[in-house]
Chains A and B, each alone.
Chain A
Amino acid sequence: MNPFLFLFRELLGSIRARSALFFALTGLLLFVFLAVVGTFFLVPPSSPAEAGEEAVLPIEEIRVHLSPRLSSATVDRMFLEIRAREDVGRVVFRFSQELDRDASGGVFVIGPTSPDVAPALVEALRSLNGVTEVIERRSPGEPDRSPLSTAARIGLLSSLVVTIALSLLFARIGYRELLRSFAGEIRLLRLSGISERTVVPLTVGVGVVIGFLAGLLLLVILYVLHYVVVSQGTPPAIFEGLTSGGRILGVSLINLLLGLVLGGLIGLFGAGLLGSREFRPIP
């Protein structure tokens, strides 16, 4: 076995109840940190009303459904009239069946020249004879439509700071306990000429394992939530982000990577304790 792997196994074997407790707390806090980060990715945008904002989403496209009784000459005339309007950017005629198999008649798919003129255009189109329905299609994700209120965002961002600070504190206590129970071994390693490039990565490795487990736990929980949400049919709006398996995989992998990086940084923080007099081979 590679000496590093041997020593890493020995170091992990030196974890006692107290250090395990603090490492578990560190891992839990890292998990919370990653879950909060995941929330920013996975909570879907809600309607402006939900967000408590007045902004109305811009109209991107207008679909004008025509009566099937209209003659083709009438439809042609309407098409030309609409195309001639200054507030119409583009207009395309399509058969209703192209959009809905059970429908009949025709549809003008209209793009307004700008979102500002769209409401007036919709009204004008509704007043035309032979029009059965006018449907507005609004652009997705515009403008700021986060379901998280400013207060919630501040709360989440604060929780990121608090969790990382607490995890560093708990990790330091856990490391102090672990390194104390491994102090004799560290002194012997240093006395025997084992490089710091072997000793320091051992402690960093513990942090990486903690970060990895936190990321892995989040991945498992996200997938469990995904299956629960999908099995319930139409989920509440807040869980819409959990319906896409691909999105969950992406977020989980990002979080796993983030967990590894954070764990490594926590490990480096713990490795700072190795400079203590307690671990010197010769007093």
Chain B
Amino acid sequence: MAVMIQVSELHFTTEDGVKVLEDIHLRVEQGELLYIVGPASSGKSLLLGLLGGQLPPQRGQILVHGRNVGRLSPERRLELRQRIGYLPQGFAPLSRTVHENVLFKLRSLGNFREQAEEKAILALEATGLIRLQGVEAAELSSLDRVRLGLALAVCDDPLLLLIDEPFEGLDANECGEACLLIDRLHTGHLTVVAATRGPLPDVTRGQRIVRLVDGAVMES
């Protein structure tokens, strides 16, 4: 199986000198679903930011889809970022309808109107939001907001989906539903890496889970 993410000897130290990530080694195959679990401020969001090319690595190597993120030119890094779907922590949708949210992203990425409409419908169907497409995003429930965030992340057919703290503000049942949705989205070629404080719902049993503790990754 092809490797989607290969991280070796990754270190990251904040401006204040706090070592957040220390000698991280991680390998994620293409089409794999991986949960990274760790306490608050353990560096989960930072790790996802590094994997997603949002931040340049300080030390160590990150290969995403065969490209060394640290050595990419700014233009190439942007190209890579356009192939990565990212749901950030505390995602706040745009003050538009659900449909317009997705359409905005697709049109911004250069999709023509018809093409964008088509992709938006597919993404909303995949995330179970099609019936709410005309609703103002601000009026959505917490779970539906996560759905919208995921729809935005997957709408332009990414290679890799990075999800940061998708269960924030959800009750146990909603966490389970969100997990099932993530599981559904990762089918096929899409690789999914989700980071959370946990605990993970039962539906994730059988999935690959790694723990991020004291700046190091440990397989569960």
Q: What is A's interface to B at a CB cutoff of 8 Å?
A: 1, 3, 6-7, 10, 184-185, 188-189, 191-195, 281-283
- Residue B199 at the chain A interface, CB threshold 8 Å: no
The answer on a CB contact under 8 Å between A193 and B105 is no
Choose one: A6, A10, A281; the contact of B88 (CB below 8 Å). Answer: A281
The answer on a CB contact under 8 Å between B78 and A193 is yes
What chain A residues lie within 8 Å of B152 (beta carbons)? 188
**A-B contacts, CB under 8 A, total:** 58
What chain A residues lie within 8 Å of B92 (beta carbons)? 184
- Contacts of B92-123 to chain A: CB distance below 8 A: 92-95, 104-105, 107-110, 112-113
The answer on a CB contact under 8 Å between A7 and B108 is yes
Q: What is B's interface to A at a CB cutoff of 8 Å?
A: 45, 49, 53-55, 75, 77-82, 84, 86, 88-90, 92-95, 104-105, 107-110, 112-113, 152, 156
Q: A282-B45, A282-B54 are in contact. Are A3 and B93 (CB under 8 A)?
A: no
Jot down 22 A-B pairs with beta carbons below 8 A, ordered by A: A1-B112, A3-B108, A3-B109, A6-B107, A10-B104, A184-B94, A185-B104, A188-B94, A188-B105, A188-B108, A188-B152, A191-B54, A192-B81, A192-B86, A192-B109, A193-B53, A193-B79, A193-B81, A194-B82, A282-B54, A283-B89, A283-B90
Most chain B CB neighbours (cut-off 10 Å) among A6, A7, A10, A191: A191
The answer on a CB contact under 8 Å between A3 and B107 is yes
The answer on a CB contact under 8 Å between B49 and A282 is yes
What chain B residues lie within 8 Å of A188 (beta carbons)? 94, 104-105, 108, 152
The answer on a CB contact under 8 Å between A194 and B94 is no
Most chain A CB neighbours (cut-off 10 Å) among B86, B112, B113: B86
- For residue A231, give the distance in angstroms from its CB to the closest CB of chain B: 50
